[in-house]
Amino acid sequence: MPGGTGLERLALAGRGKRLPRAVATRLQPAASRSIAGGGERMSEKGSTPNWIEQAAPPRSYRSLFKWGDPLGFKHPNHGMLALLKETFGMTDADFVSPQRTGMEDFDAAAPAALEERHRQVFERLLGAENVINGAYECTRASYGAGMIDALRLRQHIVENLPAAVLAPRSRADVEALLRYCDEQRIPLYVYGGGSTVTRGMEAVRGGVCLDLSRHFNGVLAFNETDQTITVQPGMWGPELERLLNDAPQTLGARDRYTCGHFPQSFMHSSVGGWVVTRGAGQNSTYYGKIEDMVLAQEYVTTRGVLQTAPQPRSATGPDFDQVMMGSEGCFGVLTAVTLRVCKYRPQHTRRYSYLFRSWPEALAAGREILQGEFGLPSVFRLSDPEETDVAMRMYHIHGTPADSALRMLGYRPMQRCILLGTCDGDPDFSRLVNNKIAAIARKHGAFTLTPFGVTRKWEKGRFTDPYLREDLMDFGILIDTLECAV
């Protein structure tokens, strides 16, 4: 969409080739934490899929690829399961025995050992406790959270490991490591939160991996006058947001703040990872993508330290901040980043949701909203007919009397499209944007779902949908996260 937003979504990627069966016995549910918004069990006798509800055993293959909280689960609900069966021609029999679950002990061979002379240097630099060997740890540092990585681990395919994982404690450590690895021609990769879907830290040439999640997770500076915060790159997203939301207590500030960056992987990714992958978030339409938030960065490179200045704008170029963002560790190791932050005012958030009869109508409305120049909404999610159908089933609208009424009014399955989102900021601003969206949606024939709380339902599950992946892959269905634009 010109000047518009990239729409990211979870999409059914089609039923993969059936995987060979690895676990034939039924796994009994154990103590578990089902994520709020997870689906209900099917009620028909004999048709309850055998979803796994036990934590992955420590040091198992599954513990390396299972998303998020070890005791977090979200099962497809009745409606979604029915859709899967319909779409892929599956029956109850296909949901009896989970396949290739990865519950087995991790037994891959250790990677080629680090040369003794290198190991001694690394231990002298970092201390022995920060030089980590072992196939399990090296696999964790080399595999990300994409579908291909999960599939490989389910099939016990372990390849391209670093010889060691190194945990630097300071910028001086990173400088010394880069200098040594450069001199010795040792390939070097960087690990932040490990949620990469592009296999960005896969050690295809061996070498070592720097794990910044251990010691690089502090606040370096907070400037309330300029509304900026400088942090180390290994800080996890939720920790940054907690510090900012509670800034009067945590940072001695007058106000509360938000970073405004919420990728779907928010709960399990690092600030540095967001920056070096040039990430997008679910609220990026208003707060901007990460490259709009970054004011300054510090990188350690093999040729020295690159430090950009925290200026709001510059009339010279090229802009090294922009050059470095998205480099995924190829140009250097990010050791500090300064972000601009915004006021945190959840009490002014306005939520909207509309149903359009067709994709062309929804698209025309979306364009008019984003090109309206009255201000941008914060969350802006336009679903095509397929994704809308999944949503109608996940939110229990499909097949209800309300659904029948909608069909009679011309909002038909596999044609209708949901638009949902939020408006943030100053109360007058969020009210204005919300009212403009309502008027444009009405003009394009939309039915308002706003009073039915659809956006709140989406908010409840916005970070937990990835938990569905394990259930689906257990039964041979591939699912992945996509980025797309129209």
Ligand X SMILES: Cc1cc2nc3c(=O)[nH]c(=O)nc-3n(C[C@H](O)[C@H](O)[C@H](O)COP(=O)(O)OP(=O)(O)OC[C@H]3O[C@@H](n4cnc5c(N)ncnc54)[C@H](O)[C@@H]3O)c2cc1C
What are the residues binding ligand X (CB under 6 A)? 8, 144-145, 189-197, 200-201, 212, 233, 263-265, 269-270, 272-274, 276-277, 279-280, 328-329, 333-334, 466, 481
Closer Cβ to ligand X, 155 or 327, answer by number: 327
Closer Cβ to ligand X, 111 or 193, answer by number: 193
d(CA 173, CA 293): 28
Q: What letter represents residue 12's amino acid?
A: L
d(CA 486, CA 469): 26
Which among 163, 119, 115, 123 has a CA at the least distance from the CA of 139? Answer: 163
- Least Å distance, CB 154 to ligand X, is 16
DSSP-assigned states of every residue in 245-286: HTHHHHT--SS-EE-----TTGGG-BHHHHHHTT---TTHHH
Closer Cβ to ligand X, 63 or 481, answer by number: 481
Q: Parallel, antiparallel, or unpaired: how do β-strands 304-307 and 294-301 relate?
A: antiparallel
d(CA 210, CA 174): 8
Closer Cβ to ligand X, 79 or 144, answer by number: 144
- Least Å distance, CB 118 to ligand X, is 20
C-alpha torsion sign, points 23, 26, 32, 37: positive
Q: What letter represents residue 303's amino acid?
A: R
Closer Cβ to ligand X, 299 or 395, answer by number: 299
d(CA 345, CA 135): 46
Closer Cβ to ligand X, 271 or 449, answer by number: 271
Please give the backbone phi and psi of residue 93, each rounded to the nearest 5 degrees, phi first: -60, -25
Angle (nearest 5°) at CA 136 between 132 and 141 = 65
Encoding tokens for residue 323?
A: 């050059």
d(CA 323, CA 110): 37
Closer Cβ to ligand X, 64 or 280, answer by number: 280
**Which of helix, strand or coil describes residue 20?**
coil
Closer Cβ to ligand X, 101 or 264, answer by number: 264
Closer Cβ to ligand X, 55 or 334, answer by number: 334
d(CA 128, CA 119): 9
- Least Å distance, CB 330 to ligand X, is 8
Distances, alpha carbon 94 to alpha carbons 21, 47, 460, 472, in Å: 11, 10, 30, 11
